[in-house]
Amino acid sequence: MLRELEPVVREAGKMALAAQKGSPREIKPDGSIVTPADRNVEEFLRLKLPKILPGAGIYGEEMGCSEETDAGLWCIDPIDGTSNYAFGLPIWGVSVGLVRGESCVLGLVYLPVLDEMFSASAGQGAYLNGERLTPIPAGGIAPEELISCPDRILRMYPAEDFPGKIRHSGAFVVDGVYTASQRVRGLVGVREKLYDVAACLCIAKEVGADIRYADGTPLELAPLKRPWTRLEKAWIIFPPESHFYLP
């Protein structure tokens, strides 16, 4: 399916890129920004995905959630990093993942400004523009290495609890694929929804990342399939054997 999906996700990204300059902004009830491009890209993907995998459910940020079926559940974030996008920053991406049960079995993240396509399927490795990503080196994070950590995490824990140098792009999928490609050594998240994380979970798993809640308990996908349910505890995509934990 990746061969069929990649041109579709790439086209979605190009649609968003073409509409970025001067795109009007609206404020949703939760205070976040949405643009017409968010809705147009999701609508485009909702038309294309059933042709690739008939019968699967779809969960998108802008147009709601249907039930998972035996075929799975598509998880769409049409523009992740909408605030960046709306204000003209280049750091945003289009994300499509396929979840079945407790597994993310397909994931694609396209960063249109950089023309970078990250893709993965379960058991088949992860790729950047067709070149296979190498496994994440095991071990701790050195003081000079980077980790992604949003400001809301720093309101929960002191900065001294984290290794490395803290960075955050403002777009989860960017930090997720940067972690998988080891531009960033690790990622700490909280309050993301399934459509935010699904694609990156597949990509990160295929490079051997340690994916779990930061307190050491397993990350479970089933609760996140309920519409608008968030990851309420701190969780991580980290190198294996990092021995990093938060209370």
For residue 30, pLDDT over 90 is answered with no
For the chain, the C-alpha Rg in angstroms (whole number) is 17
For residue 247, pLDDT over 90 is answered with no
What is the pLDDT at residue 37?
Answer: 96
Both tokens of 114, joined, read: 């950089």
- Mean pLDDT, range 34-49, rounded to an integer: 97
Query: Quick one: 106 and 35 in the same domain?
Result: yes
For residue 31, pLDDT over 90 is answered with no
Query: Quick one: 150 and 205 in the same domain?
Result: yes
Q: Indicate the number of domains in the chain.
A: 2
The Cα–Cα gap between 22 and 219 comes to: 39
Task: Single out the residue of 222, 225, 202, 175 nearest to residue 2, CA to CA.
Answer: 202
Q: What is the DSSP letter of 218?
A: P
Query: Computed from CA positions of residues 156, 158, 164, 170, in that sequence, does the dihedral angle turn out positive or negative?
Result: positive
What is the pLDDT at residue 2?
Answer: 94
Does residue 171 contact residue 187 with C-beta atoms inside 8 Å? no
Domain that holds residue 211: 146-238
Query: Quick one: 79 and 169 in the same domain?
Result: no
Task: Single out the residue of 80, 53, 108 nearest to residue 192, CA to CA.
Answer: 80
157-173 pLDDT per residue, tens:
999 999 999 999 999 99
Instruction: Give residue 22's pLDDT band: very low, low, confident or very high (50, 70, 90).
Output: confident
Phi-psi domain of 24 (left: phi exceeds 0; alpha: psi -120 through 50; beta: other)? beta
Q: Is the pTM of this model over 0.85?
A: yes
Query: Quick one: 117 and 7 in the same domain?
Result: yes
Cα atoms found within 13 Å of the Cα of residue 12, Cβ hemisphere only: 32
Query: Quick one: 126 and 164 in the same domain?
Result: no
Query: Quick one: 15 and 109 in the same domain?
Result: yes
